[in-house]
Structure 1
Amino acid sequence: MKTSLVKKTWRPFLAIMLFIGLWEVATRLFSIEEWLLPAPSDIVMEAKNVIPTFLPHLGSTVKLSVSGFLIGTTVGLGVATILHLMPKVRETFFPFIIISQNMPIIVLAPLLVIWFGFNALPKLIIITLACFFPIAVSALGGFTQTNRELVHYMKMMGASKAQLFWKLELPHAVPSIFSGLKIAGTYSVMAAVVSEWLGAQKGIGVFMTLAASSYRTSRVFVAIIVAMVISLAFYGLILLLERFFIRWQQKGEKT
Protein backbone atom coordinates (compact mmCIF):
# COMPACT_ATOMS: atom_id res chain seq x y z
CA MET A 1 0.00 0.00 0.00
CA LYS A 2 2.87 2.38 0.85
CA THR A 3 4.51 1.54 -2.49
CA SER A 4 1.35 2.41 -4.43
CA LEU A 5 1.00 5.65 -2.46
CA VAL A 6 4.57 6.62 -3.35
CA LYS A 7 3.92 5.82 -7.03
CA LYS A 8 0.85 8.06 -7.04
CA THR A 9 2.43 11.01 -5.24
CA TRP A 10 6.01 11.25 -6.47
CA ARG A 11 5.14 12.93 -9.79
CA PRO A 12 2.97 15.72 -8.25
CA PHE A 13 5.57 16.20 -5.51
CA LEU A 14 8.37 16.47 -8.07
CA ALA A 15 6.34 18.93 -10.15
CA ILE A 16 5.67 21.13 -7.10
CA MET A 17 9.34 21.10 -6.08
CA LEU A 18 10.38 21.97 -9.64
CA PHE A 19 7.90 24.86 -9.71
CA ILE A 20 9.17 26.21 -6.38
CA GLY A 21 12.78 25.90 -7.57
CA LEU A 22 12.07 27.79 -10.79
CA TRP A 23 10.19 30.44 -8.82
CA GLU A 24 13.17 30.91 -6.47
CA VAL A 25 15.67 31.10 -9.33
CA ALA A 26 13.51 33.55 -11.33
CA THR A 27 13.12 35.99 -8.45
CA ARG A 28 16.87 35.98 -7.80
CA LEU A 29 17.91 36.02 -11.45
CA PHE A 30 15.65 38.92 -12.46
CA SER A 31 16.05 40.77 -9.13
CA ILE A 32 12.29 40.97 -8.57
CA GLU A 33 11.39 43.17 -5.62
CA GLU A 34 10.00 41.34 -2.59
CA TRP A 35 6.91 43.57 -2.43
CA LEU A 36 6.07 42.54 -6.01
CA LEU A 37 6.82 38.80 -5.94
CA PRO A 38 8.70 37.35 -2.96
CA ALA A 39 10.86 34.29 -3.34
CA PRO A 40 9.70 31.03 -1.69
CA SER A 41 12.58 31.30 0.79
CA ASP A 42 11.38 34.80 1.79
CA ILE A 43 7.86 33.45 2.31
CA VAL A 44 9.17 30.67 4.56
CA MET A 45 11.17 33.16 6.64
CA GLU A 46 8.14 35.46 6.92
CA ALA A 47 5.99 32.51 8.02
CA LYS A 48 8.44 31.75 10.84
CA ASN A 49 8.37 35.37 11.97
CA VAL A 50 4.58 35.77 12.02
CA ILE A 51 3.61 32.42 13.61
CA PRO A 52 2.88 33.88 17.10
CA THR A 53 0.60 36.61 15.71
CA PHE A 54 -0.87 34.41 12.96
CA LEU A 55 -2.16 31.54 15.12
CA PRO A 56 -5.23 33.44 16.48
CA HIS A 57 -6.20 34.30 12.90
CA LEU A 58 -5.77 30.68 11.86
CA GLY A 59 -7.92 29.40 14.72
CA SER A 60 -10.67 31.90 13.94
CA THR A 61 -10.85 30.91 10.27
CA VAL A 62 -10.84 27.19 11.01
CA LYS A 63 -13.64 27.59 13.55
CA LEU A 64 -15.69 29.68 11.14
CA SER A 65 -15.10 27.27 8.25
CA VAL A 66 -16.08 24.20 10.24
CA SER A 67 -19.20 25.87 11.66
CA GLY A 68 -20.35 27.08 8.24
CA PHE A 69 -19.56 23.72 6.67
CA LEU A 70 -21.62 21.82 9.26
CA ILE A 71 -24.55 24.20 8.83
CA GLY A 72 -24.25 24.03 5.05
CA THR A 73 -24.14 20.22 5.17
CA THR A 74 -27.26 20.06 7.32
CA VAL A 75 -29.15 22.53 5.13
CA GLY A 76 -27.97 20.88 1.91
CA LEU A 77 -28.96 17.36 2.95
CA GLY A 78 -32.27 18.63 4.33
CA VAL A 79 -33.12 20.52 1.14
CA ALA A 80 -32.12 17.55 -1.05
CA THR A 81 -34.27 15.18 1.01
CA ILE A 82 -37.32 17.46 0.85
CA LEU A 83 -36.95 18.03 -2.89
CA HIS A 84 -36.56 14.31 -3.51
CA LEU A 85 -39.51 13.19 -1.41
CA MET A 86 -41.79 16.00 -2.66
CA PRO A 87 -41.55 16.22 -6.47
CA LYS A 88 -43.97 19.15 -6.71
CA VAL A 89 -41.89 21.14 -4.22
CA ARG A 90 -38.82 20.29 -6.30
CA GLU A 91 -40.44 21.55 -9.50
CA THR A 92 -41.40 24.79 -7.76
CA PHE A 93 -38.29 25.69 -5.80
CA PHE A 94 -35.31 24.03 -7.57
CA PRO A 95 -34.93 26.96 -10.04
CA PHE A 96 -34.63 29.34 -7.06
CA ILE A 97 -31.75 27.23 -5.73
CA ILE A 98 -29.97 27.54 -9.08
CA ILE A 99 -30.57 31.30 -9.13
CA SER A 100 -29.13 31.65 -5.61
CA GLN A 101 -25.81 30.33 -6.85
CA ASN A 102 -25.61 32.76 -9.76
CA MET A 103 -25.25 35.73 -7.40
CA PRO A 104 -21.54 36.32 -6.58
CA ILE A 105 -20.73 36.07 -2.89
CA ILE A 106 -18.68 39.28 -3.02
CA VAL A 107 -21.83 41.13 -4.16
CA LEU A 108 -24.12 39.55 -1.57
CA ALA A 109 -21.72 40.05 1.34
CA PRO A 110 -22.21 43.83 1.82
CA LEU A 111 -25.99 43.36 1.87
CA LEU A 112 -25.70 40.74 4.60
CA VAL A 113 -23.60 43.15 6.65
CA ILE A 114 -26.25 45.86 6.24
CA TRP A 115 -29.03 43.46 7.26
CA PHE A 116 -27.32 41.56 10.09
CA GLY A 117 -24.38 43.70 11.21
CA PHE A 118 -20.72 42.82 11.69
CA ASN A 119 -21.24 39.77 13.92
CA ALA A 120 -20.67 36.14 12.94
CA LEU A 121 -24.11 35.62 11.37
CA PRO A 122 -23.40 37.19 7.93
CA LYS A 123 -20.19 35.19 7.68
CA LEU A 124 -21.95 31.93 8.52
CA ILE A 125 -24.64 32.71 5.94
CA ILE A 126 -21.99 33.25 3.26
CA ILE A 127 -20.25 29.96 4.05
CA THR A 128 -23.59 28.11 4.24
CA LEU A 129 -24.60 29.44 0.81
CA ALA A 130 -21.26 28.34 -0.62
CA CYS A 131 -21.49 24.83 0.89
CA PHE A 132 -25.13 23.79 0.69
CA PHE A 133 -25.50 23.91 -3.12
CA PRO A 134 -22.89 21.25 -4.09
CA ILE A 135 -24.12 19.02 -1.26
CA ALA A 136 -27.79 19.44 -2.19
CA VAL A 137 -27.21 18.83 -5.91
CA SER A 138 -24.92 15.84 -5.32
CA ALA A 139 -27.30 14.25 -2.80
CA LEU A 140 -30.31 14.85 -5.04
CA GLY A 141 -28.49 13.27 -7.96
CA GLY A 142 -27.56 10.27 -5.81
CA PHE A 143 -31.17 9.78 -4.69
CA THR A 144 -32.49 9.79 -8.25
CA GLN A 145 -29.82 7.40 -9.54
CA THR A 146 -30.96 4.52 -7.34
CA ASN A 147 -31.46 1.29 -9.29
CA ARG A 148 -35.03 1.36 -10.55
CA GLU A 149 -35.32 -2.43 -10.41
CA LEU A 150 -34.50 -2.44 -6.70
CA VAL A 151 -37.00 0.35 -6.11
CA HIS A 152 -39.69 -1.62 -7.95
CA TYR A 153 -38.81 -4.78 -6.00
CA MET A 154 -39.08 -3.04 -2.62
CA LYS A 155 -42.40 -1.51 -3.62
CA MET A 156 -43.67 -4.95 -4.52
CA MET A 157 -42.58 -6.14 -1.08
CA GLY A 158 -44.79 -3.44 0.47
CA ALA A 159 -42.04 -1.01 1.54
CA SER A 160 -43.26 2.41 2.60
CA LYS A 161 -41.83 5.65 1.20
CA ALA A 162 -39.78 6.13 4.39
CA GLN A 163 -38.40 2.58 4.26
CA LEU A 164 -37.58 3.02 0.60
CA PHE A 165 -35.63 6.18 1.39
CA TRP A 166 -33.71 5.02 4.48
CA LYS A 167 -32.94 1.46 3.38
CA LEU A 168 -32.29 1.94 -0.33
CA GLU A 169 -32.07 5.46 -1.71
CA LEU A 170 -29.97 7.05 1.05
CA PRO A 171 -27.35 4.25 1.21
CA HIS A 172 -27.00 4.29 -2.58
CA ALA A 173 -26.51 8.07 -2.52
CA VAL A 174 -23.57 7.98 -0.05
CA PRO A 175 -20.82 8.19 -2.74
CA SER A 176 -22.59 11.14 -4.40
CA ILE A 177 -23.10 12.87 -1.06
CA PHE A 178 -19.41 12.58 -0.24
CA SER A 179 -18.54 14.02 -3.65
CA GLY A 180 -20.54 17.09 -2.70
CA LEU A 181 -18.99 17.19 0.77
CA LYS A 182 -15.47 17.24 -0.68
CA ILE A 183 -16.34 20.19 -2.90
CA ALA A 184 -18.11 22.00 -0.06
CA GLY A 185 -15.18 21.40 2.30
CA THR A 186 -12.83 23.34 0.03
CA TYR A 187 -15.45 26.02 -0.64
CA SER A 188 -15.95 26.58 3.09
CA VAL A 189 -12.38 27.85 3.58
CA MET A 190 -12.57 30.15 0.56
CA ALA A 191 -15.94 31.53 1.70
CA ALA A 192 -14.65 32.02 5.25
CA VAL A 193 -11.67 34.06 4.04
CA VAL A 194 -13.93 36.18 1.81
CA SER A 195 -16.42 36.73 4.65
CA GLU A 196 -13.60 37.92 6.93
CA TRP A 197 -12.96 40.84 4.61
CA LEU A 198 -16.21 42.33 5.94
CA GLY A 199 -15.03 43.91 9.15
CA ALA A 200 -14.00 40.85 11.16
CA GLN A 201 -11.72 41.25 14.17
CA LYS A 202 -9.45 38.36 13.24
CA GLY A 203 -9.03 35.62 10.69
CA ILE A 204 -6.88 34.77 7.68
CA GLY A 205 -8.93 37.20 5.57
CA VAL A 206 -8.21 40.02 8.03
CA PHE A 207 -4.51 39.09 8.15
CA MET A 208 -4.40 39.04 4.34
CA THR A 209 -6.12 42.42 4.03
CA LEU A 210 -3.78 44.11 6.52
CA ALA A 211 -0.73 42.60 4.80
CA ALA A 212 -1.91 43.68 1.33
CA SER A 213 -2.66 47.25 2.46
CA SER A 214 0.90 47.59 3.76
CA TYR A 215 2.45 45.92 0.67
CA ARG A 216 3.83 43.02 2.71
CA THR A 217 3.34 40.58 -0.15
CA SER A 218 5.21 37.75 1.55
CA ARG A 219 2.60 37.81 4.33
CA VAL A 220 -0.17 37.66 1.74
CA PHE A 221 1.43 34.53 0.31
CA VAL A 222 1.68 33.04 3.80
CA ALA A 223 -2.07 33.55 4.23
CA ILE A 224 -2.81 32.09 0.79
CA ILE A 225 -0.66 29.01 1.38
CA VAL A 226 -2.16 28.38 4.82
CA ALA A 227 -5.68 28.68 3.37
CA MET A 228 -4.75 26.14 0.70
CA VAL A 229 -3.33 23.74 3.32
CA ILE A 230 -6.53 24.01 5.38
CA SER A 231 -8.62 23.24 2.28
CA LEU A 232 -6.46 20.21 1.49
CA ALA A 233 -6.75 19.04 5.11
CA PHE A 234 -10.55 19.30 4.96
CA TYR A 235 -10.56 17.40 1.69
CA GLY A 236 -8.32 14.66 3.10
CA LEU A 237 -10.43 14.30 6.25
CA ILE A 238 -13.64 13.96 4.23
CA LEU A 239 -11.91 11.45 1.95
CA LEU A 240 -10.99 9.31 4.98
CA LEU A 241 -14.57 9.51 6.26
CA GLU A 242 -15.84 8.48 2.84
CA ARG A 243 -13.64 5.38 2.80
CA PHE A 244 -14.75 4.48 6.32
CA PHE A 245 -18.46 4.82 5.53
CA ILE A 246 -18.22 2.92 2.25
CA ARG A 247 -16.32 0.05 3.91
CA TRP A 248 -18.82 0.01 6.78
CA GLN A 249 -21.67 -0.01 4.29
CA GLN A 250 -20.12 -2.85 2.31
CA LYS A 251 -19.61 -4.91 5.48
CA GLY A 252 -23.24 -4.29 6.44
CA GLU A 253 -24.42 -5.49 3.03
CA LYS A 254 -22.34 -8.68 3.30
CA THR A 255 -23.66 -9.53 6.75
Structure 2
Amino acid sequence: MVEAKRRRPSALKREVAIPAIAVLVLVVLWEVLVRAFKVPEFLLPAPSVIAEESWKVAGNMGVHSVATLRTVLLGFALSVAISLPMALAITSSPAVGNAIYPLLVLTQSIPKVALAPLLVVILGANELPRVVVTFLVAFFPLVISISTGLLAVPPELLELGRACKASWRQELVRIRLPYAVPFIFSGFKVAITLCVVGAVVAEFVNADVGLGYLIVTSTAFFKVPLAFGAVIMLSLMGIVLFQLAVMLERWLFPWSAAGNVRDAH
Protein backbone atom coordinates (compact mmCIF):
# COMPACT_ATOMS: atom_id res chain seq x y z
CA MET A 1 0.00 0.00 0.00
CA VAL A 2 2.79 2.44 0.95
CA GLU A 3 4.69 1.56 -2.20
CA ALA A 4 1.57 2.19 -4.29
CA LYS A 5 1.14 5.63 -2.69
CA ARG A 6 4.76 6.47 -3.47
CA ARG A 7 4.20 5.59 -7.10
CA ARG A 8 1.27 7.97 -7.50
CA PRO A 9 3.30 11.23 -7.72
CA SER A 10 5.62 9.70 -10.31
CA ALA A 11 2.64 8.33 -12.25
CA LEU A 12 0.98 11.76 -12.14
CA LYS A 13 4.18 13.36 -13.38
CA ARG A 14 4.47 10.85 -16.18
CA GLU A 15 0.85 11.16 -17.30
CA VAL A 16 0.29 14.92 -16.91
CA ALA A 17 3.51 16.89 -16.61
CA ILE A 18 5.50 15.28 -19.41
CA PRO A 19 2.73 15.54 -22.06
CA ALA A 20 2.02 19.14 -20.99
CA ILE A 21 5.69 20.08 -21.36
CA ALA A 22 5.86 18.38 -24.76
CA VAL A 23 2.81 20.32 -25.99
CA LEU A 24 4.24 23.58 -24.62
CA VAL A 25 7.54 23.02 -26.41
CA LEU A 26 5.68 22.28 -29.65
CA VAL A 27 3.61 25.48 -29.36
CA VAL A 28 6.68 27.61 -28.64
CA LEU A 29 8.54 26.05 -31.55
CA TRP A 30 5.56 26.66 -33.81
CA GLU A 31 5.39 30.31 -32.75
CA VAL A 32 9.11 30.89 -33.24
CA LEU A 33 9.32 29.22 -36.66
CA VAL A 34 6.25 31.01 -38.03
CA ARG A 35 7.60 34.37 -36.96
CA ALA A 36 11.18 33.61 -38.01
CA PHE A 37 10.21 32.55 -41.55
CA LYS A 38 7.40 35.14 -41.77
CA VAL A 39 4.82 32.58 -42.85
CA PRO A 40 1.65 34.31 -44.12
CA GLU A 41 -1.24 34.18 -41.70
CA PHE A 42 -3.60 32.68 -44.30
CA LEU A 43 -1.23 29.72 -44.69
CA LEU A 44 -0.15 28.96 -41.14
CA PRO A 45 -1.05 31.40 -38.35
CA ALA A 46 1.01 31.56 -35.19
CA PRO A 47 -0.51 30.11 -31.99
CA SER A 48 -0.76 33.61 -30.50
CA VAL A 49 -2.82 34.77 -33.50
CA ILE A 50 -5.06 31.70 -33.26
CA ALA A 51 -5.65 32.34 -29.56
CA GLU A 52 -6.36 36.03 -30.16
CA GLU A 53 -8.86 35.45 -32.98
CA SER A 54 -10.58 32.63 -31.11
CA TRP A 55 -10.90 34.72 -27.97
CA LYS A 56 -12.64 37.48 -29.94
CA VAL A 57 -15.47 35.08 -30.76
CA ALA A 58 -15.30 32.99 -27.58
CA GLY A 59 -19.06 33.02 -27.10
CA ASN A 60 -19.73 31.93 -30.66
CA MET A 61 -17.01 29.26 -30.37
CA GLY A 62 -18.72 27.98 -27.24
CA VAL A 63 -22.08 27.65 -29.03
CA HIS A 64 -20.48 25.68 -31.88
CA SER A 65 -18.56 23.49 -29.41
CA VAL A 66 -21.70 22.62 -27.45
CA ALA A 67 -23.53 21.71 -30.68
CA THR A 68 -20.72 19.38 -31.78
CA LEU A 69 -20.44 17.85 -28.30
CA ARG A 70 -24.17 17.12 -28.32
CA THR A 71 -23.87 15.27 -31.63
CA VAL A 72 -20.82 13.37 -30.37
CA LEU A 73 -22.53 12.22 -27.18
CA LEU A 74 -25.76 11.24 -28.92
CA GLY A 75 -23.84 9.25 -31.56
CA PHE A 76 -21.74 7.57 -28.88
CA ALA A 77 -24.79 6.69 -26.76
CA LEU A 78 -26.49 5.20 -29.82
CA SER A 79 -23.38 3.19 -30.71
CA VAL A 80 -23.17 1.76 -27.18
CA ALA A 81 -26.89 0.95 -27.10
CA ILE A 82 -26.67 -0.99 -30.38
CA SER A 83 -23.15 -2.44 -30.14
CA LEU A 84 -23.60 -4.26 -26.82
CA PRO A 85 -26.63 -6.39 -27.81
CA MET A 86 -25.14 -6.94 -31.26
CA ALA A 87 -21.89 -8.20 -29.72
CA LEU A 88 -23.89 -10.49 -27.43
CA ALA A 89 -25.74 -11.86 -30.44
CA ILE A 90 -22.48 -12.43 -32.35
CA THR A 91 -20.88 -14.32 -29.46
CA SER A 92 -23.98 -16.34 -28.61
CA SER A 93 -23.80 -18.47 -31.73
CA PRO A 94 -21.27 -19.01 -34.56
CA ALA A 95 -24.14 -19.03 -37.07
CA VAL A 96 -25.40 -15.65 -35.87
CA GLY A 97 -21.85 -14.29 -35.94
CA ASN A 98 -21.34 -15.49 -39.52
CA ALA A 99 -24.58 -13.79 -40.51
CA ILE A 100 -23.86 -10.44 -38.84
CA TYR A 101 -20.13 -9.98 -39.57
CA PRO A 102 -20.53 -9.44 -43.35
CA LEU A 103 -23.14 -6.77 -42.69
CA LEU A 104 -20.79 -5.05 -40.23
CA VAL A 105 -17.96 -5.07 -42.76
CA LEU A 106 -20.33 -3.73 -45.42
CA THR A 107 -21.36 -0.78 -43.28
CA GLN A 108 -17.73 -0.05 -42.43
CA SER A 109 -16.57 -0.18 -46.06
CA ILE A 110 -18.99 2.55 -47.18
CA PRO A 111 -17.31 6.01 -47.06
CA LYS A 112 -19.23 8.08 -44.53
CA VAL A 113 -18.64 11.28 -46.51
CA ALA A 114 -20.45 9.69 -49.45
CA LEU A 115 -23.25 8.40 -47.22
CA ALA A 116 -23.89 11.68 -45.39
CA PRO A 117 -25.68 13.49 -48.28
CA LEU A 118 -27.93 10.47 -48.82
CA LEU A 119 -28.87 10.45 -45.14
CA VAL A 120 -29.78 14.13 -45.40
CA VAL A 121 -32.17 13.30 -48.26
CA ILE A 122 -33.64 10.32 -46.39
CA LEU A 123 -33.81 11.72 -42.85
CA GLY A 124 -34.09 15.44 -43.54
CA ALA A 125 -31.84 18.45 -42.97
CA ASN A 126 -31.75 18.22 -39.18
CA GLU A 127 -29.53 16.77 -36.45
CA LEU A 128 -30.58 13.16 -37.01
CA PRO A 129 -28.33 12.55 -40.08
CA ARG A 130 -25.34 13.90 -38.15
CA VAL A 131 -26.06 11.58 -35.22
CA VAL A 132 -26.43 8.59 -37.58
CA VAL A 133 -23.12 9.36 -39.32
CA THR A 134 -21.42 9.68 -35.94
CA PHE A 135 -22.92 6.35 -34.88
CA LEU A 136 -21.80 4.61 -38.09
CA VAL A 137 -18.21 5.79 -37.61
CA ALA A 138 -18.02 4.60 -34.00
CA PHE A 139 -20.06 1.43 -33.61
CA PHE A 140 -17.92 -0.99 -35.68
CA PRO A 141 -14.78 -0.88 -33.49
CA LEU A 142 -17.01 -0.99 -30.43
CA VAL A 143 -18.75 -4.16 -31.60
CA ILE A 144 -15.42 -5.78 -32.43
CA SER A 145 -13.90 -4.87 -29.04
CA ILE A 146 -16.87 -6.13 -27.04
CA SER A 147 -17.10 -9.33 -29.09
CA THR A 148 -13.39 -9.98 -28.68
CA GLY A 149 -13.64 -9.52 -24.92
CA LEU A 150 -16.63 -11.83 -24.58
CA LEU A 151 -14.86 -14.53 -26.59
CA ALA A 152 -11.50 -14.13 -24.84
CA VAL A 153 -12.63 -15.75 -21.59
CA PRO A 154 -10.37 -18.71 -20.72
CA PRO A 155 -12.15 -22.02 -21.29
CA GLU A 156 -11.26 -23.07 -17.73
CA LEU A 157 -13.49 -20.34 -16.29
CA LEU A 158 -16.37 -21.33 -18.54
CA GLU A 159 -15.97 -24.98 -17.58
CA LEU A 160 -15.95 -24.00 -13.92
CA GLY A 161 -19.17 -22.04 -14.36
CA ARG A 162 -20.84 -24.94 -16.13
CA ALA A 163 -19.64 -27.32 -13.41
CA CYS A 164 -21.38 -25.06 -10.91
CA LYS A 165 -24.52 -25.26 -13.07
CA ALA A 166 -24.47 -21.57 -13.95
CA SER A 167 -27.17 -20.49 -16.38
CA TRP A 168 -26.34 -18.59 -19.60
CA ARG A 169 -27.31 -15.33 -17.90
CA GLN A 170 -25.14 -16.05 -14.85
CA GLU A 171 -22.23 -17.03 -17.10
CA LEU A 172 -22.60 -13.76 -19.00
CA VAL A 173 -22.94 -11.48 -15.97
CA ARG A 174 -20.43 -13.17 -13.64
CA ILE A 175 -17.78 -14.47 -16.04
CA ARG A 176 -17.87 -13.07 -19.57
CA LEU A 177 -18.73 -9.42 -18.92
CA PRO A 178 -16.26 -8.92 -16.01
CA TYR A 179 -13.48 -10.52 -18.05
CA ALA A 180 -14.38 -8.35 -21.06
CA VAL A 181 -14.29 -5.03 -19.14
CA PRO A 182 -10.80 -4.00 -20.40
CA PHE A 183 -11.84 -4.81 -23.98
CA ILE A 184 -15.10 -2.92 -23.60
CA PHE A 185 -13.42 0.21 -22.29
CA SER A 186 -10.76 -0.01 -24.98
CA GLY A 187 -13.64 0.07 -27.44
CA PHE A 188 -15.18 3.01 -25.58
CA LYS A 189 -11.94 5.00 -25.84
CA VAL A 190 -11.64 4.37 -29.56
CA ALA A 191 -15.32 4.98 -30.21
CA ILE A 192 -15.55 8.30 -28.34
CA THR A 193 -12.65 9.77 -30.30
CA LEU A 194 -14.07 8.47 -33.58
CA CYS A 195 -17.37 10.09 -32.67
CA VAL A 196 -15.65 13.48 -32.77
CA VAL A 197 -14.40 12.68 -36.28
CA GLY A 198 -17.84 11.46 -37.38
CA ALA A 199 -19.61 14.53 -36.02
CA VAL A 200 -17.27 16.88 -37.91
CA VAL A 201 -17.64 14.90 -41.14
CA ALA A 202 -21.42 15.14 -40.82
CA GLU A 203 -21.24 18.87 -40.07
CA PHE A 204 -19.21 19.42 -43.23
CA VAL A 205 -22.16 18.11 -45.23
CA ASN A 206 -25.22 19.28 -43.31
CA ALA A 207 -25.13 21.79 -40.47
CA ASP A 208 -25.80 25.40 -39.61
CA VAL A 209 -23.98 25.15 -36.28
CA GLY A 210 -21.03 23.17 -34.92
CA LEU A 211 -17.26 23.24 -35.11
CA GLY A 212 -17.27 21.50 -38.50
CA TYR A 213 -19.60 24.18 -39.84
CA LEU A 214 -17.35 26.84 -38.30
CA ILE A 215 -14.29 25.38 -40.06
CA VAL A 216 -16.07 25.38 -43.44
CA THR A 217 -17.35 28.95 -43.13
CA SER A 218 -14.05 30.27 -41.74
CA THR A 219 -11.93 28.82 -44.54
CA ALA A 220 -14.45 30.05 -47.12
CA PHE A 221 -13.78 33.62 -45.94
CA PHE A 222 -10.03 32.99 -45.39
CA LYS A 223 -10.36 33.29 -41.61
CA VAL A 224 -7.69 30.63 -41.19
CA PRO A 225 -6.80 31.43 -37.53
CA LEU A 226 -10.44 30.90 -36.55
CA ALA A 227 -10.51 27.60 -38.44
CA PHE A 228 -7.36 26.51 -36.60
CA GLY A 229 -9.02 27.50 -33.34
CA ALA A 230 -11.96 25.22 -34.14
CA VAL A 231 -9.58 22.37 -35.00
CA ILE A 232 -7.76 22.83 -31.69
CA MET A 233 -11.10 22.86 -29.86
CA LEU A 234 -11.98 19.55 -31.54
CA SER A 235 -8.65 18.10 -30.45
CA LEU A 236 -9.23 19.20 -26.86
CA MET A 237 -12.73 17.72 -26.97
CA GLY A 238 -11.39 14.37 -28.10
CA ILE A 239 -8.67 14.38 -25.44
CA VAL A 240 -11.08 15.27 -22.64
CA LEU A 241 -13.63 12.64 -23.67
CA PHE A 242 -10.90 10.01 -23.95
CA GLN A 243 -9.60 10.84 -20.48
CA LEU A 244 -13.12 10.73 -19.07
CA ALA A 245 -13.42 7.18 -20.36
CA VAL A 246 -10.09 6.32 -18.72
CA MET A 247 -11.18 7.86 -15.40
CA LEU A 248 -14.55 6.10 -15.53
CA GLU A 249 -12.84 2.74 -16.00
CA ARG A 250 -10.48 3.34 -13.08
CA TRP A 251 -13.32 4.50 -10.86
CA LEU A 252 -15.81 1.74 -11.66
CA PHE A 253 -13.37 -1.13 -12.32
CA PRO A 254 -10.05 -0.51 -10.55
CA TRP A 255 -9.23 -4.18 -10.96
CA SER A 256 -9.43 -3.88 -14.73
CA ALA A 257 -6.41 -5.37 -16.45
CA ALA A 258 -6.02 -2.35 -18.70
CA GLY A 259 -5.82 0.04 -15.76
CA ASN A 260 -3.41 -2.20 -13.85
CA VAL A 261 -1.05 -2.48 -16.81
CA ARG A 262 -1.11 1.27 -17.31
CA ASP A 263 -0.35 1.97 -13.65
CA ALA A 264 2.38 -0.61 -13.40
CA HIS A 265 4.73 1.11 -15.85
Q: TM-score, normalised by structure 2?
A: 0.90
Contact 2:192 2:242 in 1 (8 A): yes
CA contact (8 A) 1:182 1:238 kept: yes
Which residue does 2:260 correspond to in 1? none
CA distance in 1: counterparts of 2:14 and 2:245, whole angstroms: 22
CA-based RMSD of the aligned residues comes to 1.6
Alignment-derived partner of residue 145 in structure 1: 152
Correspondence for 1:71 among 75, 78, 84? 78
Residues 76 and 192, structure 2, Cα contact 8 Å, conserved in 1: yes
Q: CA deviation at 1:106?
A: 0.9
Match in the other structure for 1:94: 101
Contact 1:73 1:131 in 2 (8 A): no
The equivalent residue for 2:207 is 200
Name stretches of at least 5 consecutive residues in structure 1 with no aligned partner.
251-255
Give the Cα–Cα distance (whole angstroms) in 2 for the partners of residues 241 and 74 of structure 1: 18
Match of 2:50 in 1: 43
User: Which amino acid counterpart does residue 238 of structure 2 have in structure 1?
Assistant: S
Q: How many residues align?
A: 250
Provide the rounded CA distance (Å) in 1 between the counterparts of 2:191 and 2:20: 25
Deviation at 1:69, TM superposition (A): 0.5
- Which one of the candidate residues 216, 221, 230 is aligned to 2:228? 221
Residue 193 of structure 2 corresponds to 186
Query: Does the aligned pair in 1 maintain the 2:145–2:184 contact within 8 Å?
Result: yes
90-99 or 41-50: bigger deviation? 90-99
Identity %: 32
149, 167, 190: which one aligns with 1:160: 167
- Letter in structure 1 aligned against 2:118: L
* Letter aligned with residue 83 of structure 1: I
In structure 2, the partner of 1:131 is 138
What's the counterpart of residue 231 of structure 1?
Answer: 238
What are the superposed Cα offsets for residues 75-133 of structure 1, whole Å, 9 maximum, x if unpaired? 11111011111321111121220221122211111111121121112111111111111
Query: How far did residue 248 of structure 1 move?
Result: 7.2
Indicate the residue corresponding to 1:61 in structure 2: 68
Unaligned runs of 5+ in 2: 1-7, 258-265
Question: In 1, are the aligned partners of 2:249 and 2:256 still within 8 Å (CA)?
Answer: no
Counterpart-to-counterpart distance in 1, 2:9 and 2:56: 35
The one-letter code sitting in structure 2 at the alignment partner of 1:72 is S
Checking the alignment, whether the CA contact within 8 Å between 1:69 and 1:184 is kept in structure 2 is yes
How far off its partner does 1:53 sit?
1.6
Whole-Å separation in 2 of the counterparts to 1:133 and 1:200: 24
Equivalent AA in structure 2 for residue 66 of structure 1: L
- Aligned position for 1:172: 179
Instruction: Tell me, yes or no, if the aligned pair for 1:197 and 1:206 is still in contact at 8 Å.
Output: yes
SS in 1 for 2:204: coil
- Secondary structure of the structure 2 residue equivalent to 1:135: helix
1:145 Cα deviation after fit: 0.5
- How far apart, in 2, do the equivalents of 1:8 and 1:236 lie? 11
